Amino acid sequence: MKIGFNMLAVTGHVTDEHAPVLERLKALGYDGVEVPVFEGAGAHYRSLGSRLRAIGLEATIAAIVTEDANPISRERVVRARARDRLHWSIDCAHALGATLMMGPFHSPLGVFTGDGPTVEEIERLADAMHEAAVHAEGAGVMLSLEPLNRFECYVLNTLAQAADLSHRVGHRHFGCTFDTFHANIEERDPVEAYRTHAREVNHVHISENDRGIPGRGHAPIAAAIRAVRAEHYDGWLTVEAFGRSVPALAAATRVWRDLFPDLDTLFSESIAVIRRHWAGS
């Protein structure tokens, strides 16, 4: 097991100016960081990867698609832009030296039709994800698609839906993310949902019900971590929390108030919670 920290609590674009934060995370014992890849070019991520390795941190990345680059769109040109964006994200992950790309890259955040996904949308999504997985295999990157709660997307809300899609995609470089925040909303029993679909899960987000410090709320984080360990999971447990430092993201995630007193408290308490529950105490 490796412990990571999603940098979206700090910034939407990690640069050299964030070196002190990265060094602090390493000093606290984090094994790596999850880097948002929403902009930039390969050269930037190659440079950032070199800095991370010098500090001693590994990396995963978080990626998204946009409304004009939507893999489930009826419009062929829009799906083509989605393919190009996914390939670009995977190439940035490769440049960074990241081993995994996660995120809700099934559909644009906050875009709804007023109904659930159609059969045609799921078919288009499976085709798009298979094509992305083939590209990811060539780049040495695993894909982990993240189901989101119903208030953020309509296409993929539960682990059962994500597992079904994973079977449709049928590629060894494709899996799904178990996120304790989203599961706490969508699953009748989040821990049992994980146990049922553990074979399809290749990434885990530790995220509190208010998206603040893990362990301070009512999401079943302790039980989830114990279940993950019991299933012999050997991937990342990545802390995902959100603050107000990235205005566009704060608006998208509906973060209107401060959810932690400061970043250092978030960093230190989060890793302590994961270690304690992984140890079974």
Q: What is the pLDDT of residue 280?
A: 85
Assign 108 a pLDDT band (cuts: 50, 70, 90). very high
Instruction: Output the 3-class SS for the chain.
Output: CEEEEEHHHCCCCCCHHHHHHHHHHHHHCCCEEEEECCCCCHHHHHHHHHHHHHHCCEEEEECCCECCECCCCCCHHHHHHHHHHHHHHHHHHHHHCCCEEEECCCCCCCCCCCCCCCHHHHHHHHHHHHHHHHHHHHHCCEEEECCCCCCCCCCCCCHHHHHHHHHHHCCCCEEEEEEHHHHHHHCCCHHHHHHHHHHHEEEEEECCCCCCCCCCCCCCHHHHHHHHHHCCCCCEEEECCCCCCCHHHHHHCCCCCCCCCCHHHHHHHHHHHHHHHHCCC
pTM of the predicted structure, to 2 decimals: 0.96
Structure confidence by residue, pLDDT tens digits, 216-264: 999 999 999 999 999 999 999 999 999 877 777 777 778 888 888 999 9
Share of the chain above pLDDT 70, in %: 100
Q: What is the pLDDT of residue 173?
A: 98
Fold of the domain spanning 2-278 = TIM Barrel (3.20.20)
Give the mean model confidence (pLDDT) for residues 5-29: 96
Give the mean model confidence (pLDDT) for residues 38-48: 96
Q: What is the pLDDT of residue 256?
A: 84
Structure confidence by residue, pLDDT tens digits, 124-171: 999 999 999 999 999 999 999 999 999 999 999 999 999 999 999 999
Q: What is the pLDDT of residue 61?
A: 98
Q: What is the pLDDT of residue 203?
A: 98
Give the mean model confidence (pLDDT) for residues 23-45: 97
Across the chain, mean pLDDT equals: 96
Assign 281 a pLDDT band (cuts: 50, 70, 90). low
Assign 20 a pLDDT band (cuts: 50, 70, 90). very high
Q: What is the pLDDT of residue 258?
A: 83
Give the mean model confidence (pLDDT) for residues 19-46: 97
Give the mean model confidence (pLDDT) for residues 30-36: 98
Structure confidence by residue, pLDDT tens digits, 178-211: 999 999 999 999 999 999 999 999 999 999 999 9
